Amino acid sequence: MPSAQIIARKPNHIQRIFQISARILVLIALAFGSCSSAFADEPKITVDADVQPIDFRTSKEVNDFIDFMVTRHGFSRTELEIVFSQVQFSAQSIQLIKPAPPTKLKNWEAYRTRFIEPIRIKAGVEFWTKYAATLNRAEKEYGVPAQIIVGIIGIETLYGKNVGKFRVLDVLSTLSFAYPDTPTRESRMAYFLSELEQSLLFARESGIDPFSLIGSYAGAIGWGQFMPSSIRQYGVDFDGDGKIDLRNSPEDAIGSVANFLSQHGWETGLPLVFPATIVNDHPEDMLAKELNATFTLQQLADVAVPTLKSTPAQPLYGLIDLQNGEKPTEYWLATHNFFAITKYNRSYFYAMSVIELGKAVCHAKFPHISCD
C-alpha cells in the first residue's frame, strides 16, 4: 500500500494520515486482510442515533484530499469536486464497521458450521463444474489447486451471491472521513483513505465511472472481495477481454485469487496442515502469531508433536490453535501454504474454513478420489 508524500505546506489532517509510516500502513492492511471475507454479507441493521453524516462538499478534510490527488496523481480538481458532490454518506457502513462487543468465546466448531454446509457445498460443485477449464488453467499457471480457489470464493461470497450492494466510493469516503470513535480510529481512517485513493486510481486506469464500483460495506469488490489496492496489485484479466472486472467476471476472480496466493508465497505441491498433540502446559508460547511457518518438527517437539505418523518432516511449520469455546482447543501444524491463505484474511479460522470447504466441495464433486 503506497505511503504518499504531499506537497510541503502547513500540515493538515490528510498530511498527518498519509505521513503514517509505510510499515504501519502495511500492518493496517494485514489486520484487515488484503481481501476480506467479513465484508460481503450485509444484514439488515438499525443505525445508532449517534451516527452523524458529514457534507463531503464542504469538508475541509475532503478538500485537502482533493489537493493531494491533484498534486500527487494529476487529477482534475473540478472533476473531483464533482465526484465528491455526488458521494453519499453511508450510515450503514459506519454501523456495520463498528467492532462487535466481545460476548462469547471463540468457537471453531460454530464457525465451521456456518460455512461448511450443504447449500455452500452444492453451490461450490456447480461453480467448479461451470468453470472447470478456468480453474485448471489457473492451477497450471499459478500452482494453486482448484479446491483452494473454490474454497476462498465460496467463503467470501457464496460463489458470487453476496458480492455487496454499496457504492464503493460512498463507503470508502464515509470511512475515510467519518470513521466511528474507536481506539483504532486514526489507523483505520488511514487505511480507508489509502483505499479511497486506490479506488480513484483504479477507475481512472480502467476508464470507468468510479461510481460503477459496487461492493461491500467496507469497499471490498467482486467474487473474491478484493479491496481496491489488491485489485491494482493482484487483479488479473483472466478472461482476456482487456479489463479486470472482479464483480462481473468469475474468470477474472479465479485468476486473481490464484495470483494473490502465488504472490504471497504459495508453494506448489506443499501440503497445508496436520493435527498436533500438545505435550507442554504452555503451547501459547509457540503459537504462530506472526502467521509464518518458521519451525522444524524438532524445534516444536518440546511443545507439540505430530498426531499422525504420516506428517512429513521436511517442511517448516507454525503451531496454530482452533479454540472451541468450552470444549478442548484443537492444535495443528501449519505450513507456508496455510499461512499464504491467512494473507487473504488474518485468521486461523478463516484459513481452515477455506481448506475445509474446498475439501468438502472436492469430495462432493469427485467422490472416488482423494481430496486431502
Contact 138, 238 (CB under 8 A): yes
Out of 79, 126, 141, 156, pick the active-site residue.
156
Distance CA 111, CA 115 (A): 7
Residue 205 designated active-site: no
CA-CA distances (angstroms) from residue 225 to 90, 214, 367? Answer: 19, 11, 30
Q: Which residues are catalytic?
A: 156
